[in-house]
Amino acid sequence: MQPTINYNFRPILIYRTFRNAPKKRLKILHATLHGSAFVLSVVGLKAVFDSHNLAKKPIPNLYTLHSWIGLITIIIFAAQFLSGFISFLYPGLSKTMRQTLMPVHTAFGIGGFVLAVTTTMTGLTEKVIWTLDSNYKDFISEGIIFNLMGVFAVFYGIMVLYMVNELDYKRVATRRRDSTCRIRIGSSGAYSLQTLGVVHSHKSTLRYSLDEA
């Protein structure tokens, strides 16, 4: 149940990596990566259940903490993908509804990512104990490699969470050719447009694009 952590990091950072790209394009890329990750997660689940059920001596399913957290992670991931696609991409809800749902979508996205990292950690621990057994305590090379993988996953998770929450990495609103409005600058001098972040000092008629939420 580890494909989620391997592929989920890409969608969660789309709006941080391509900060200056048009939002519609980012939404499509975000959804495409999420969809691909979901397909891979389903394939991974099928492989896990087959490895248990088709073994010469069948192994019980869903009895470990790793499997429980992993299944919860994939359920949240699937719900995020479906609700996000319908709400923000197609057919899409009203702007007011999107603005209301965005904090919820973001919170569950971050929560799902944290659960994915947790699933990876429990999976690594489970695998190394079952594989190496009593040799694990002897600091053999395989055990050290497993430990380093776990440490890397922890630092990787911290880095992603930092980039998601750090305002300096937040997407920069871009001007759009659609949804435009006319703003007339009076003759009294400079006029500050705080909502658009524009300051103009000349008397003229300007067209500014409103970035779609």
- How high is the pLDDT of residue 176? 52
Sequence-distant (6+) residues with CB within 8 A of 60 are 52
Return the closest-CA partner of residue 5 out of 84, 115, 129. 115
Q: Tell me whether residue 99 is in a domain.
A: yes
Total-model pTM? 0.74
Q: Tell me whether residue 174 is in a domain.
A: no
Q: Which residue has the higher pLDDT, 194 or 33?
A: 33
- How high is the pLDDT of residue 32? 94
Q: Tell me whether residue 87 is in a domain.
A: yes
Whether residue 96 is found in the same domain as residue 192: no
- How high is the pLDDT of residue 166? 86
What mean pLDDT do residues 133-141 have?
Answer: 93
- Flag whether pLDDT at 1 surpasses 50: no
**pLDDT tier at 192 (50, 70, 90 boundaries)?**
very low
Instruction: Compute the half-sphere exposure of residue 170: CA atoms within 13 Å on the CB side of its CA.
Output: 5
Q: Tell me whether residue 27 is in a domain.
A: yes
The three-state secondary structure class of 91 is: coil
Q: Tell me whether residue 175 is in a domain.
A: no
Tens digits of per-residue pLDDT, 5-63?
443 444 677 877 787 788 889 899 999 999 999 999 999 999 999 999 999 999 999 99
Tens digits of per-residue pLDDT, 57-92?
999 999 999 999 999 999 999 999 999 999 999 999
- Flag whether pLDDT at 190 surpasses 80: no
Structural domain of 144: 3-169
Whether residue 203 is found in the same domain as residue 161: no
The C-alpha R_g of the chain, in whole angstroms, comes to 23
Q: Tell me whether residue 34 is in a domain.
A: yes
Instruction: List the CATH number of the domain containing 32.
Output: 1.20.120.1770
Whether residue 7 is found in the same domain as residue 46: yes
Whether residue 116 is found in the same domain as residue 195: no
Give the Å distances, CA to CA, from 193 to 57, 127, 197, 204.
70, 58, 6, 14
Whether residue 111 is found in the same domain as residue 188: no
What mean pLDDT do residues 133-151 have?
Answer: 95
- Flag whether pLDDT at 4 surpasses 50: no
Whether residue 90 is found in the same domain as residue 143: yes
Tens digits of per-residue pLDDT, 167-185?
887 877 665 543 443 444 4
CB of 18 closer than 8 Å to CB of 130 = no
Based on the structure, what is the number of domains in the chain?
Answer: 2
- How high is the pLDDT of residue 184? 43
Whether residue 54 is found in the same domain as residue 92: yes
Whether residue 186 is found in the same domain as residue 165: no
